[in-house]
Structure 1
């Protein structure tokens, strides 16, 4: 009787040890599996990171190739040289128009080029209702007395536009646009060709911050006839 009890006890101990061993082995397997999964995931992340870095490096290298930027610089240089040939060539090129606009802003006279561009867009309108609406907008912004961006026009030109604004045509602003064009060509354009903005383009220098400076008002011929000693110069 005692022997059987001892054997039973020994059997239970063996079963307990086997279960314990199994649990240890099973748990170790899970731990190893978890470690392997983490290792594989880390390797995948490293490979993806490496691929992204290579792609970014390739893109930057391609966009910053000397030949690529050099070609664009040469094209811009050739165009910039043509801008010095005539004012019309300057305004007919997108980059030239942008550079000239930046220059006029430094002299606080950008209203001239803005008016000229508005007239160019106005002449392309096809709908009659849009002609009337846009003509009124141009008149109120650039022509009428104390307009937000009033351009410098002689009295006669302004009077003609004022009388015709109720029934405008696509040519209502031709005379004013021509006058402003001449003022820019004879005055602002000559200074633009000597400015840092233009010379930097010719010499391939990077764009520098533009310095704003005061300017004196450009009088028209008719205004010179009526000028008096107490006339204040605009700054």
Structure 2
């Protein structure tokens, strides 16, 4: 629940207390949200941020929880210089995929290519986990250029299998478990690592800020081929 404290804003972000110890920062778009989230993590690691127990990014928001004085932090956030996020820094998590999804032909038609070209186009881009939601371990990955955005299915499926690689709007995703869903299914993850494992720290394989590349897996799933034709071990 949003608290009754003052709202502090700049041209690109607005911060308002949320409850007694929360601060909700609203951003204009995914790019500003990713940049602000990265800046929060940088300042937190550097010790220049007041104590914060949780940092939760959304599509256009970042929630900071466990803040001793949300109103003071809101005023400080207004003065932050936040550099844009670059896609050429940080490790890249490779996810091998068999491009065998039931919506592959439909997506190919929307892209104006043949079904056998979808994997190369999808794997050409580097993605970043913008935020998590919907189900534990479900990461919303940005990185597709606008001309490759596709609509959700007009009729959602009652069951999407675990490991399905999917597209909807500007996002790519991998379903961590079987659930209903309305995204376009283009492939199947062929990686033995679970996307969500409560015994792992952190439990989600796809954490906000993680850079991801999808690589085309061989039939046996033991190797994969990147968009530039180089070889990589599946699950590396």
For normalisation by structure 1, the TM-score amounts to: 0.21
Q: Which has the larger radius of gyration?
A: 1
TM-score, normalised by the number of residues in structure 2:
0.21
- Higher relative helix content: 1
